[in-house]
Amino acid sequence: MVSPDDATQTAEPPEPPLGSRGSEPPATFGLDAEGLAVVAEEEALLARLRRRLEELSSGRTQGDSRARLVDLRDEATSARPDDLPALLDQLHVVRALEERRRSGPLPDRACPYFAHLRLREDGVAKDYLLGHVALLDSREGLRVIDWRNAPLSQIFYRYREGDAYDEELPARRAEGVVELRRILVIADGKLRAIHAATGLLELGPDGWRRHGAGALSGGAGSAERGKLGLGVGRAERGRGPDIAALLDKVQFDIVHAHGDGPLLVLGSAGSGKTTVALHRLAALSYAHPERLSPKRLLVVVPEPGLAKLSRRLLAPLGLGAAEVLTFRGWARREVLRLLPDLPRRSLDDAPSGVARLKRSRALFELLPEWLRHRPFQPLPSLARLRGELLTDRRFLTEVVVRSGGEVPAYAVDETVQRTMRQLDVPTEARLRGLVDDDRLATLDGKSLDDGSPEELGQTLDEEDDALLLELWRRTRGAGVRSCAHLVIDEAQELGPFELSALRQALRGGGAVTVAGDDVQRTSAGGFAGWDAALADLGVPEAPRRTLATSYRCPAPIARVANAVLGPLAPAQPATAGRPGGPVGWHRFPNEGSATLFLQDAVGDLVLREPEASVAVLTRGASGAARWAKALAHLPRARLVRQGEFSFAPGVDVCEVSEAKGLEFDYVIVPDADAASYPGDDEARRALHVAATRAMHQLWFCSVGTPSTLLPWEG
C-alpha cells in the first residue's frame, strides 16, 4: 500500500486548490480580497470533505470503489510504461479507501482535521490535511494524514510557508516548497478560525474578522524587566546593572532595618521578597562577619528550582558558602543524623489523605496531650513511638474531628494501613538466612515485594521526617544543628511540623528572616496564617514589612492574576510596576489543534527571540511530559523535573509547583481547562502562581471546557 506521504511522487497533473470546487461567499466583516479568498477556500474544503465523509459512512460508495478497482486494473494491463506509476498509485489509494470503508474509522465529521498544508514538488502542488484519522480519497483529491505518525506531517512542524524543504521519508526523499500552511479551528462541523502566515481570521457573531498575527513577541531584549528580575532577564545576562543597585527605597530600608532579629517580609508575586531576604542576609553577614560567617547561614525553600536560583543569587553577594536546601533535603539529613537506625528509604507518594493528616495543625496541637497520656512507659524508640501514634485509631479520629474538614475521615484507615505495612519487614529480610540467596533473586532484578502492598515494608513517607523531628523535640529537646541566621522563603508552603522543626535550628536568639505570600500557597499543609506561623517558629512578635509594588508582571497580567484569586484576593492588591501587552486567550476543540498552534507560536518565538525564556506550566506531571514531547523538536526545549532548571534561554516545560519563586519572559498555561483547574481554592492558588511567573507576556489555552476561574475574552 502506498502511504499518504508517498503520494507526492506520482506524475499526476496539477490539481486545483482543494477549496476551489464550489463554495458560498462567506459572511464577512471588513475582510479584504485576500481574506475573503482564504475563508472561501477553507470553507469550501471543509464542506467537500464533510459531504464525502457522509457518503462513505452511509455505505453508498461500496459499488463505486469496487468498480473503480476493476477499471484501474484493466487500465494498468494496457497502459504505457510512463503511465504505470500514476495508475498504480491510484490503485493503491482506492484499495486503501475500500479497506478503510470496510474496517477502519473515518475522520470525525465534527472536526475532521485541524491543519492545511500545500506542498509543491516538481511543479505539482498537492494538499494535505492534518487530522487524527487518515483518509485517502483519489476521486475527490482529499488527503487527510494522521498528524501523530505520518512522515509528511514533520514538514508541517519544521517548515514555514514559503520555505524550501528537503526531508528523507521512509519511502523516498521529499524536496519542494511549502506553498500554504494554515492552522484551522473547526468545531461542530463549522470553521471558526484560520491561523495563517498573514494573521488570524476569526468568525464572530457578525461574521469573519481579521486580527493581528497574535504572536508572542517583545520579550528578550526589549521587554522592560522592572527592578528585581530574578530569572534569566537582563541582569542575569549581563545586560544591565546588578540587582543590588536597583533596590527601591522600601526594599533598601527592609534590608538594613531591624538589626539581626526576626523579620517577616510579605509581598505579592514579583515584589522582590526573595531578593530582599537574601540581600538582608548578605548585609547582616557583612556587618557581623565573625558571628554570621557564610558557613553558619542556612536558607530553606520548598522547591529544588528555587534552591538552585537562591544559590545563584547568593554567590555574587559573597555568600556562595551559605547552605541552601529544600525543607525535605534539610529534614532528611537531620533525621538520618539523629536516628541512623531508621529506614533510609523515604517515599514521596503518600495518599493525599495520609499526607494531610501527617501535616495537619490538628495533629500538631493534639500531639502533646497524646504523649502525656500514652499508656506505655517508658518512652520507646522514636520509630516505635511513630508507629504507635499513627496506628491509634481513636486518637486519629479525634484529629479528623479537630481538623474541621481539613483532614478527610477516610484518612484514618489509610494512615493505619499504610503505617502497618511500613512497619513490616520485607520478604527478602524475613527469608534471609532461611533459604539460599540465589532463590531470593528475581529475573527482572526487582525485589520480591515489588508491585505489591508489601513493598512499603521498612519505609517512611517524606511527611514523617518533620513528625519525627517534632517527636524528638517533645521527648528529648532540641536536636537539629543550629545556624547563625535562617532564611525561610515561600514560608506559606510549610505547616506547623515543618516550622517547629526549623525552630530547633534557632537556638540562642531566633535570628530568622521569613518571606512569603499566603495567596501563593499551593500545598495543603496546615498553614493557618502568619500569626500561627510565627508562633510555630517561636518568634510571635517578629515585625512585619510588606512590599506593595509588583515589579515582575505588567498590569494586564497582574489584573488577571488578581481576578483568578476571587475571594482569596487581598483587599489591597499590589501595584503593578509597568504597563504591558494583553493576556492571550486561546480555546481549541481538541488537543491536536492546540498542539499545532502552540508548536507554531513557540517555534516562531524561539527563532525570533533566541535569548527569551519560555515556561510551559501544567497542573500535573503527566501533562508536563505530554507537552515536553510535543515541543521536543524545538531548540532548547526541556522537560524540568525536581527543579533541574538550567536558567538558560529556551523552553522549560514543568509542573506549576516546580516553578514557584521563578520567573520567565513568557508563560503559557496549556491546560487552563475545568478539569485541571476546577473552582476550588487550591486550583485558584495554583493558577495564580502560574500566571505570576510571567515577566512580559502570558497565554492561557484550553481544550474542551475552559476553567471558570479565568475571565475568558473573545
pLDDT at site 224:
33
8 Å CB contact between 130 and 115: yes
In a domain, 107, yes or no: yes
Query: Are 202 and 324 part of one and the same domain?
Result: no
Same domain, 161 and 298: no
Residue (of 355, 419, 421, 425) closest to 385 by Cα position: 419
Residue of higher predicted confidence among 185 and 66: 185
- Strands 544-547 and 124-131 turn out to be unpaired
63 with 196, same domain?
Answer: yes
**Number of neighbouring beta carbons within 10 Å of residue 327:** 24
* Over residues 70-77, mean pLDDT: 70
Q: Let me know: does 23 contact 43? Beta carbons within 8 Å.
A: yes
DSSP code string of 197-234: TTEEEEEETTEEEEE------S-TTTS---S---SSST
Same domain as 158, residue 79: yes
Q: Are both 136 and 187 inside the same structural domain?
A: yes
- If asked whether residues 88 and 196 sit together in one domain, one would say yes
Highest mean pLDDT among 115-119, 454-458, 552-556, 602-606: 115-119
Q: What percent of the chain has pLDDT over 90?
A: 44
Whether 417 is covered by a domain: the verdict is yes
199-204 and 190-196 beta bridge pairing: antiparallel
* Confidence grade of residue 701 (pLDDT, cut at 50, 70, 90): very high
Residue 216 placed within a domain: no
Taking the CB of residue 516, how many other CB atoms lie within 10 A of it? 23
pLDDT bucket at 523, cuts 50 / 70 / 90: confident
At residue 473, the pLDDT reads 93
Residue 320 CA: distances (Å) to CA of 296, 297, 326: 12, 10, 16
CA distance 606 to 565: 31
**Residues 6+ positions from 130 with CB-CB distance below 8 Å:** 113, 114, 115, 116, 117, 144, 145, 146, 147, 150, 153, 156, 592, 596
Of 180-184, 362-366, 399-403, 451-455, the least confident: 451-455
Q: Quickly list H helices, 487-630.
A: 496-503, 530-537, 555-565, 591-608, 621-630
Question: Does 356 score more than 90 pLDDT?
Answer: yes
Question: Given this model, what pLDDT does residue 241 score?
Answer: 42
Nearest one of 243, 314, 245, 305 to 284, comparing CA atoms: 314
Residue-level pLDDT at 227:
25
User: Cell for 552?
Assistant: 515582575
20 and 119 in a single domain? The answer is: yes
Q: Give CA separation, 497 vs 141, 210, 242, 294, in Å.
A: 68, 57, 38, 27
Closest CA to 114 of 589, 586, 584: 589
Over residues 580-596, the pLDDT tens digits come to: 888 999 999 888 889 98
- What are the grid coordinates assigned to 651, written together? 523552553
- CA geometry: angle 557, 563, 568, nearest 5 deg: 125
Residue 231's pLDDT band, with cuts at 50, 70 and 90, is: very low
570 and 291 in contact (C-beta within 8 Å)? no
Going by C-beta distance under 8 Å and a sequence separation of 6 or more, which residues neighbour residue 605? 215, 216, 217, 219, 612, 614, 666
Q: How far is 646 from 19, CA to CA, in rounded Å?
A: 47
Please indicate, yes or no, if residue 343 is contained in any of the structural domains: no
Amino acid at 468: L
CA distance 588 to 209: 18
In a domain, 93, yes or no: yes
Looking at 548, 579, 594, the residue that finishes a domain is 548
What local confidence, expressed as pLDDT, does residue 23 receive? 47
- Report the SS3 class of residue 61: coil
Q: Are residues 482 and 423 in the same domain?
A: no
Number of domains in the chain: 4
Average pLDDT, the chain: 82
The mean per-residue pLDDT over the stretch 233-258 comes to 61
If one compares 336 and 76, the residue with the highest pLDDT of the two is 336
Separation of alpha carbons 512 and 547, rounded Å: 18
283 within some domain: yes
Measured distance CA(330)–CA(298) in Å, rounded: 10
- What is the C-alpha separation between 276 and 228, in angstroms, rounded? 10
Share of the chain above pLDDT 70, in %: 79
Please give the residue range of the domain that contains residue 292.
Answer: 244-333+477-548
CA separation (Å) from 490 to 241, 684, 687?
Answer: 26, 17, 16
Q: What is the longest distance spanned by two Cα atoms in the chain? A: 102
Looking at 428, 446, 470, the residue that finishes a domain is 470
Residue, of 320 and 257, whose pLDDT is higher: 320
Cis amide bond preceding 378, omega within 30:
yes
Q: For 607-616, what is each residue's pLDDT tens digit? A: 888 888 999 9
Q: Around Cβ 320, how many Cβ atoms within 10 Å? A: 12
59 and 160 share one domain: yes
Residue 451 pLDDT > 70 = no
Residues 58 and 203 in one domain: yes
Are 84 and 172 contained in the same domain?
Answer: yes
Q: Which residues contact 61 (CB under 8 A, 6 or more apart)?
A: 55, 101
Per-residue model confidence (pLDDT) at position 551: 82
Q: What share of the chain is helix, strand, coil (3-state, %, to 5)?
A: 40, 20, 40
pLDDT value of position 510: 62
- Residue 646 identity: S
Residues ≥6 apart with Cβ < 8 Å to 161: 178, 179, 180, 181, 196, 197
- Give the pLDDT mean for 246-255: 79
Residue 674, pLDDT score: 95
Tens of pLDDT, residue by residue over 176-210, are: 999 999 988 888 899 988 888 888 888 888 889 88
The DSSP code for 190 is E
Cell numbers standing for residue 647: 536558567
Q: Are residues 355 and 279 in the same domain?
A: no
What local confidence, expressed as pLDDT, does residue 432 receive? 59
Write the CATH number for 312.
3.40.50.300
Q: What is the pLDDT of residue 1?
A: 29
pLDDT confidence of residue 607: 85
141 by Cβ neighbours in 10 Å (0-12 / 13-18 / 19+) ranks as: middle
- pLDDT above 60: residue 82: yes
Range scoring the smallest mean pLDDT among 82-96, 149-163, 329-343, 615-629: 82-96
- In this structure, are strands 549-550 and 575-576 parallel, antiparallel, or unpaired? parallel
* pLDDT score of 75 more than 80: no
Distance CA 303, CA 292 (A): 25
The verdict on pTM exceeding 0.85 is: no
Q: What is the pLDDT of residue 434?
A: 56
Average of pLDDT values for 634-640? Answer: 92
- Tell me the pLDDT band of 455, cut-offs 50, 70 and 90: confident
- pLDDT per residue over 298-343, tens digit each? 999 999 999 999 998 898 888 999 999 999 999 999 999 999 988 8
Digit-coded pLDDT (tens) for 509-520: 669 999 998 888
Q: Which range is least confidently modeled, 364-373, 598-607, 624-633?
A: 598-607
Give the pLDDT mean for 112-134.
Answer: 91
Average pLDDT over residues 15-32: 56
Q: Is residue 203 part of a domain?
A: yes
What DSSP letter does each residue of 365-424 carry, written as one string? HHHHHHHHH-SS-S---HHHHHHHHTT-HHHHHHHHHHHTTSS-TTHHHHHHHHHHHHHS
Which pLDDT score, from 0 to 100, does residue 13 have? 40
- Which pLDDT value is given to residue 268? 86
In the DSSP assignment, the letter for residue 344 is: -
The DSSP bridge pattern shows strands 173-187 and 190-196 to be antiparallel
Examine residue 248 and state whether it is found in any structural domain, yes or no: yes
Write a three-state SS string for 413-429.
Answer: HHHHHHHHHHHCCCHHH
For the CA atoms of 439, 441, 443, 449, the dihedral, rounded to the nearest 10 degrees, stands at: 110
DSSP helix/strand/coil, 612: coil
Of 520, 548, 576, which residue sits at a domain end? 548
